[in-house]
Chains A and B, each alone.
Chain A
Amino acid sequence: MAELLLDDPVAAGFEIVHERPHSFYPEFFRKGDLKDQTHYCPGCGHGIAHKLVAEAIDELGLQDRTILISPVGCSVFAYYYLDTGNVQAAHGRAPAVATGVKRAHPESIVVSYQGDGDLAAIGMAEILHAANRGENITVFFINNAIYGMTGGQMAPTTLLGQKSTTTPYGRDHYNDGYPVKVCELLATLEAPVYLERVALGNAKQINAALRAIRKALRYQTERAGFSLVEILSPCPTIWKLDPVAAQKRVREVLVPAFPLGVYRDRGAEIPKGETLPPRPLPAPPPPLDAIPGLLDIDEQTPDPPAARPAQADLRIRVAGFGGQGVLMLGEVLAEAGLQLGLEVSWLPSYGPEMRSGTSNCHVRISSQEVDSPLVARPNVLLALNEPSLRKFLPTVEVGGWVLYNHHQLPADIAVPEGIHLLPLACSELADSLGETRAGNIVMLGALLAATDGLPIEAIHRALALCVKSARWLEIDRRALATGQQAAREALSNRSQEVRREIQ
């Protein structure tokens, strides 16, 4: 037989029409004898798909512009073979990596090459969002309905009834769900430009696959947008079929389950030979020195007021209903601490129940470094409602202050010895100013009157920074003064009472 063959067909008058595409490396970066062949099993669809992709890249003259993002799976080593730019991505993240590469290099042709475990399981979020953003990338999605590299576990695309190592009795939709149809799924999104499912089930299907691959790449050169070609592919090893039987199974089993066809083709609307304008670039980032202005912190922080306390250790718990300004009150306190040049922390603590439920925050203002933002033993409790008082009163340290948003405590609550109490109807006072919601700042004013830890000028600066609306700033300033005044009166009356009792 062999003696019948020509040593050199070209010398015999033939011309080469199909040979190893140039987009493959002439030799693969593999050990010894293996440098001429792929690591794929005999009859593997990846080999065919690689060849089709390489040939399409050759035909379109894109080799020097292409950056291939290889996945995790059997095709993790695509960078051994394709002589293009290569990036290997974490499992499922190829579309996210492709997004970054394409945005950084908009004139490159960025190709994400992924299997079904990579794309449709761990990477489902990445592919959906890249498609939904209409990234101008091309995705080749190799679907063989199984996890091949890891030994045949069920993939999202595994067919109903198909046995795998993790579905030994066959995939059952009650337990395992249905096969995910990626083209159909992506076709529900607005942005994708081209979605087609092809197969490698026979020579005719392979030719159609080559056309689809070529088209998807060409659309990227025209800046058309996101395209994905799903390629139904054989896995003879895991399917436990010889390569020819595996190819037959692609035709006879996979294709009926995953119908071939074009699911989206908006690229056809682009006149032939035309290229769309580049996607508008996002606004450039602001220069570094503009950032303080954007954050409203561009004014030079004034020197700390002279009244800066040498020693400060305020551990404040602010608590109340959601909507009472609990977190905001904490923020103003922390900001005031900053204005004094002290160390501060502000830790909001709110759960799903915050709206119309309870909310609280921890504030620490200290002349020392703050070791923990948690305030488990407060020396100031600002209780804007009764549940907060009941909850946090037992935690207050001896010598600490409790401010409660009512003119008296509930009858059944006794204040532990050594704790200073100031009940004051802050919300009512705020209401008389015309804004019930300023009750939190009334309480802040009361705190200033009760303790001398924080100078009022620091609070005024903090309010100016925290309150954006001029109307509210005015209200809050009045609320602050009102709270201070009311607290002074209450405390002075109380000391007279005490004096009378002593007399």
Chain B
Amino acid sequence: MSPTTETSTGGKPDKGYVTVNTEQCKGCGLCVEACVPRVLRLAPHLNRFGYHPAQYLGHGCSGCGLCFHACPEPGGLVVYKRPSMAAAA
């Protein structure tokens, strides 16, 4: 199965994307709490520091950045947008 950014709703491409630096994440869950489209969760596995790192579900990110500011780790998350959307933001 190839990576996709097509949402399941209407086949439109996702506006945004998010990556988690799993080795910096302390599993506090504040990004999960902040995420409006609810596309983040805490992974069932542990990272090497013993935390359940945050995990992107793979689609549905709006690129709003709320998770980024809720995250206490400087490099815990990176948030992306499609160029046209980024310009509009």
Contact = CB atoms under 8 A, between A and B. Distances in A.
Interface of A: 1-7, 9-10, 12-21, 24, 33, 36-38, 40-48, 50-52, 54-55, 81, 202-203, 206-207, 210, 236, 242-244, 247
Contacts of A202: 33-34
A36 B23 contact: yes
A17 B28 contact: no
Main secondary structure of the interface of B (DSSP, over half): loop
Nearest to B83: A15
Contacts of B51: 42
A5 B81 contact: no
A210 B65 contact: no
Contact of B33 (A18, A47, A48, A244): A244
B46 interface: no
B24 to A, nearest CB: 5
A392 B68 CA distance: 78
A155 to B, nearest CB: 21
B28 A38 contact: no
B28 A42 contact: yes
Interface centre among B4, B33, B70 (most CB of A within 10 A): B70
Contact of A51 (B16, B48, B69): B69
A247 B23 contact: no
13 contacts: A1-B43, A2-B55, A4-B57, A6-B17, A14-B81, A17-B63, A17-B86, A37-B24, A42-B26, A44-B72, A47-B73, A48-B30, A244-B30
B70 A206 contact: yes
Given A36-B21, A47-B72, 18 more contacts: A3-B1, A6-B3, A6-B19, A14-B82, A15-B83, A16-B78, A17-B81, A37-B24, A42-B51, A42-B72, A43-B26, A44-B72, A50-B74, A51-B72, A51-B74, A207-B69, A243-B30, A244-B33
A144 B30 CA distance: 17
A243 B81 contact: no
A19 B23 CA distance: 16
A48 B72 contact: yes
B interface, size bucket: 35 or more
A18 B65 contact: yes
Contacts of A207: 66, 69
Given A13-B83, A43-B72, A36 B30 contact: no
A43 B28 contact: yes
A43 B63 CA distance: 22
A48 B29 contact: no
A334 to B, nearest CB: 64
Contact of B29 (A38, A41, A244): A244
B72 A14 contact: no
Contacts of A247: 30, 33
A16 B80 CA distance: 4
A381 B35 CA distance: 86
Contact of A206 (B17, B26, B69, B78): B69
Interface string B26-46: 111110111010000001000
Interface in B52-89: 55-59, 63, 65-66, 68-75, 77-83, 86, 89
Contacts of B24: 36-37
Contacts of A81: 74
Given A17-B65, A48-B69, A52-B69, A43 B78 contact: no
Contacts of B29: 43, 242-244
A15 B65 CA distance: 13
A29 to B, nearest CB: 14
A17 B83 CA distance: 10
Contacts of B69: 18, 48, 51-52, 55, 203, 206-207, 210
A66 to B, nearest CB: 16
A12 B71 contact: no
B74 A4 contact: no
Contact of B75 (A10, A24, A243): A24
A475 B55 CA distance: 92
Contacts of B63: 17
B66 A203 contact: yes
B68 to A, nearest CB: 4
B27 to A, nearest CB: 6
B51 to A, nearest CB: 7
Nearest to A27: B75
Interface centre among A44, A51, A54 (most CB of B within 10 A): A51
A203 B78 contact: no
